Structure 1
Amino acid sequence: MSVSIKDVAKEAGVSIATVSRVLNDIDVVNEETKKKVLDAIKKLGYRPNIVARSLKTQRTKTIGILIPDISSQFYPEVVRGAEDVSNIYDYNVILCNSDVDVEKEKEYLKVLKEKMVDGVLYMSSSLDDEILDLINELDLKTVLVETKDKEGSLPSVTVDNVQAIYDATNYILDKGANKVAYIGKRRDVNTAWSARYLGYEKALQERGIEVDENYVFCDTLRVKTGHEGVMSILEKGGKPDAIICASDEIAMGAINTLRENGIKVPEEVSVIGFSNIYAADIFYPKLTTIAQPMYDMGSIAMRMLIKIINQKPLDEGHVVLQHNLIERESSR
C-alpha cells in the first residue's frame, strides 16, 4: 500500500499544508516542525509524486547532463563533481551520452525538455548556431562545461584551452624540439577541442616556425586518432621530435603506435597529452600532460546551474579554471 501525504501529516501531527511546505522547502515552517515532518517521511518511506508536484511548482528537481563521449575518462570525473553537488541540493540527474553525434544531441535536448528538467549541464561535440538556437527555442536553463559559445551568451566553466596548448607547445620547444606535430580534433567546429589547435599554431608562429600540414592530423579525441595520426605523419615522411595531443587518449594511442614502429618515447619523440585522466599516471611511460580540474569543472557548473534555476545572481558568468602542465616520463 502506497504512503500518501495525508499519512505523513497524521504521523507528524501536522496539517497536509505544512507537509507540502516542507516538501517545497518554503521557509515559513519552523525547524522543530520541519524535523517532525522529515522524520515522518523517513519512517513511512514516503516518496512524493514528482509528476503531480512538478505540475504545481513547475519544478521537477531534475537536471539533465549531456556528454559527448561516455567512453572518455574525462567526462565521468566531471559528472561525479556535478552529481555530488546535485545530491547536496536534492536534485536528481539524467545522464545522456550523444556519442559525438550532433543529431543525437538535438534529440536529447528535446527529450530533456519533455522530461521537464529544471536545467541542463551541456558538454558539447558542437556549438553550432543550430544547437544554440534549439537551446533558446526550448527555453532550457543551460550551463556549458569545457567550452563556451562564440557570443558568450550562455554561462560556462572552462580552462583556457588555447593558452593550455600554447604552454605545452612552448614547453616542448624550450626543451629543444623543433619538429612538433599536432594530433587533435577537427578545426572547423566551435568546441574546446578545436580551440586547442589554435594554441599550437600560435606558439609555432611566435617562434617563426611555419605549421607543416604533414605534421597535423585531426579527427576525434579517441585512442584510434592517436594511432591514425602517427601513421599519417610517418607515411608522409614526417619525423617529428615531439607530438602535442588534444587528449590523453590520443597521446596513449600515439605512443603505442610509435613503439610499434620502433620509435622510442621519449628518447626519440616526446609526447604530451591533455586532461590528466586517471590512466595518465599509470600508463607507460607516464604521460606528461595538461591537467584540467575535472571534478571542479562539474561541481562549479552544477552550483551555477542551481543558482540560475533558483533565480539567484551568479558571482561570475564565465568561470575559467587554472590548468597545469604536469611533467612525467613521456617527454624528455
Structure 2
Amino acid sequence: MNRLNRPTIKDVAREANVSIATVSRILNNGDGYSQKTKQHVLQTIEKLGYSPNAMARGLINKESNTIGVLFPDVSGLISAELLQGIEEAAHLRGFSVIVCKTDSDGHKTLDILRLLQEKQVEGIIFTSQLLTKEFAAFIEKMAVPVITVSSYSEEKAIPSVRVDDELASYDAVRYLLKHNHTEIGMISGPPTDLLAGAPRIRGYKRAITEAGLPWVETKVAWDSGFYFEHGQMAFNKLFDRHPQLTAIFAASDELAVSAISCAHERGIQVPDELSVIGYDGTKLARMSLPALTVISQGFEAMGKEAADLLFQSIESGNISPGATVQHTLIERKSVRKK
C-alpha cells in the first residue's frame, strides 16, 4: 500500500463499526470498552495494516519515547562513539534518539531546544560543550531531565558523566616521565577552553612540577581547537621553540596524529626520536602509524552510562547524581621506553 492509501484511524473505526474515540482509547490503554470490543478493534487494525502515529499517541500519553542528543559536531569520532553507547541504551528501552548538531552556536542551540520541546522529548543529553545558564533555564521550563556528557554546566546541579580531565592528563605525562623523558612538550586546544583546554594543561603542569622539572610556559603550544589542522599549527610552533623535545603529550587523538605527521615531515622518527601520547582513545588511535598510546575516555561506555542515568531520571522523576568515569591508559607503539 502506498503512502496515500495508508489506512487511517477513521478507516479502522468504520470497519470495526465503533467510534474513533473508542479506537483511540484502545490504542492508548484507556477505559470505557469491553474486552470483546478491544479484541475486535485490534483484529481490525491487524487486518487493515493500520500503524498509529507515535507522535499522535504522545499528545495523549504525554510520552514520546524519545530523547534528544545535542552535539556540537556529528562528523567526529567522539560523537560517533558516544552516540553508539546512547543508542544501545535507548534501544533496550524502546526509545528513539533525535540527534541534533549545534555547531556550538548559542542561537542555534536554543532553536534546537525549542524543536525538541515541540517533539515532546522526555530527556536531553548535552555533549561536548558548555551547558550555559540560558540553556539550562530553557530545559527547566521543558520539565525534562538533562545530563551532560564529556562536558560541564554553568548550573552545578545538572548531573554530568565525564572523566577527571586534569587527573587523566597528569597520568599521561607521568607515563612519559616514568619512561625517563624529561624534555616533554604539550600541544593543546586553547587554555580559554574550560572543558578540555584548561584542565588538561593543568594536569600537564602538575606532573612536570611534581617531578621537579622547571615549568616552561612555551613548552605548551596551542591553536584554536583540537583537530588535525590545529595540531599542525601547534606542533610547528612548539618545535620551532624547543627542537630538543623527546616527548609530546597531545590533548586529543587528532592532535597526536597530527604531531606524528608533522614529525615525519621534519624527518623525526616516532617513537625512536620523539614519543607521542594522545588523549581520547578513539578508533583513530588504532589506525595511526605507529599505533598511538593514549589515555582513553571510553566514549561508548560513557554514552551508555549517561543514557542509563537519564532513563533512570525519566522513570523515577529524580535528578541523577551523575558519574565520574575512570580513564584508562592504553599502551601501543608511539612511546619509546628508555
**TM-score w.r.t. structure 1 length?**
0.84
Give the C-alpha shift of residue 283 in structure 1: 1.4
- Please say which of residues 92-101 and 82-91 is displaced more in the overlay: 92-101
What amino acid sits opposite 1:65 in the alignment? V
Give me the whole-angstrom Cα distance separating, in 1, the residues matched to 2:158 and 2:332.
36
Q: Confirm or deny that 1:299 pairs with 2:324.
A: no
Partners of 2:132 and 2:155 within 8 A in 1:
no
| 1:146-180 superposed Cα distances (whole Å, 9 cap, x missing partner) | 12335531122112221111111111011111122
User: Are 1:273 and 2:278 an aligned pair?
Assistant: yes
Alignment of 1:32-47 (within 5 A): 44-47=48-51
Given the alignment of the two structures, is residue 248 of structure 1 paired with residue 253 of structure 2, yes or no?
Answer: yes
Quote the offset at 1:220 in angstroms: 1.1
- Aligned mates of 1:174, 1:22 — CA distance in 2: 67
> Is structure 2 residue 95 aligned with structure 1 residue 91?
yes
| SS across alignment from 1:310 | helix
Specify the alignment match of 1:225 in structure 2.
230
Q: Deviations over 1:228-259 (max 9, x none)?
A: 11111123344321111111111101110111
Q: Distance in 2 between matches of 1:57 and 1:119?
A: 16
Aligned counterpart, 2:146: 142
- Quick one: distance in 1 between partners of 2:202 and 2:43? 56
Label 1:16 to 1:284 Cα distance change in 2 as closer, same or farther (>3 A): same
Gaps of 5+ in 2: 31-36
The CA distance in 2 between the partners of 1:35 and 1:175, in whole Å, is: 72
Q: Measure, in 2, the Cα distance between the counterparts of 1:231 and 1:64.
A: 40
Offset at residue 9 of structure 1 (A): 8.4
* Cα 1:114/1:326, change in 2 over 3 Å: same
Is 1:271–1:331's contact at 8 Å kept on the other side of the alignment? yes
Corresponding position: 1:259 with 2:261: no
Distance in 2, Cα, partners of 1:308 & 1:68: 24
Asked if 2 retains the 8 angstrom alpha-carbon contact of 1:127 and 1:190, the reply is no
Q: Which moved more, 1:165-174 or 1:106-115?
A: 106-115
Identity %: 37
Verify: 1:326 aligned to 2:330, yes or no.
yes
Query: Contact between 2:130 and 2:152, CA under 8 Å: does it hold in 1?
Result: no
SS at match of 2:272: coil
For residues 172-205 of structure 1, give each alpha carbon's deviation from its aligned partner in whole angstroms, at most 9, with x where no partner exists.
0111111221122222233145422221122122
Matched, 1:189 2:193: yes
1: CA distance between counterparts of 2:310 and 2:304?
10
* Equivalent in the alignment of 2:219: 215
84-93 vs 244-253, which deviates more?
84-93
Q: Is the 8 Å Cα contact of residues 166 and 202 (structure 2) preserved in structure 1?
A: yes
Rounded to whole Å, the distance in 2 between the matches of 1:293 and 1:144 is: 15
AA at the equivalent of 2:283: Y
Which segment is superposed worse, 247-256 or 204-213?
Answer: 204-213
Which residue among 59, 62, 67 is the counterpart of 1:63?
67
Shift of residue 10 of structure 1?
Answer: 9.7
Q: 1:205 aligns with which of 209, 224, 232?
A: 209
Counterpart contact for 1:215–1:238, Cα < 8 Å: no
Q: Output one character per residue of 1:1-24: Cα deviation in whole Å (capped at 9) or x when no partner.
A: 333457678999999889767755
- Distance in 1 between the 2:46 and 2:216 partners? 65
Amino acid at match of 1:274: Y
Question: Residue 137 of structure 1: CA displacement?
Answer: 5.1
Give the root-mean-square deviation of aligned CA atoms: 3.3
Gaps (5+ residues) in structure 1?
27-32
Deviations 1:97-121 (A, max 9, x none): 2234444334323332333322211
Of the candidates 167, 172, 177, which is equivalent to residue 171 of structure 2?
Answer: 167
Whether 1:110 aligns to 2:106 is no
More deviation in 153-162 or 74-83?
Answer: 153-162
* Alpha-carbon distance in structure 1 between the residues aligned to 2:164 and 2:15: 54
Moved more, 283-292 or 298-307: 298-307
Which amino acid in the other structure matches residue 290 of structure 1? I
Q: 1:44 Cα shift?
A: 5.0
Q: Which residue of 1 is the match for residue 33 of structure 2? A: none
Q: Distance in 2 between matches of 1:287 and 1:107?
A: 39
- How has the CA–CA distance of structure 1 residues 179 and 11 changed in structure 2, closer, same or farther, with 3 Å as cutoff? farther
1:26-83 per-residue CA deviation (whole Å, 9 max, x = no partner) reads 8xxxxxx999998986775433233432332333222111112223212101101111
* Structure 2 partner of 1:30: none
Q: Residues 234 and 134 of structure 1: is their aligned pair in 2 closer, same or farther, counting only changes over 3 Å?
A: farther
Contact preservation (8 Å) 2:292, 2:332: yes
1:29 — aligned with what?
none
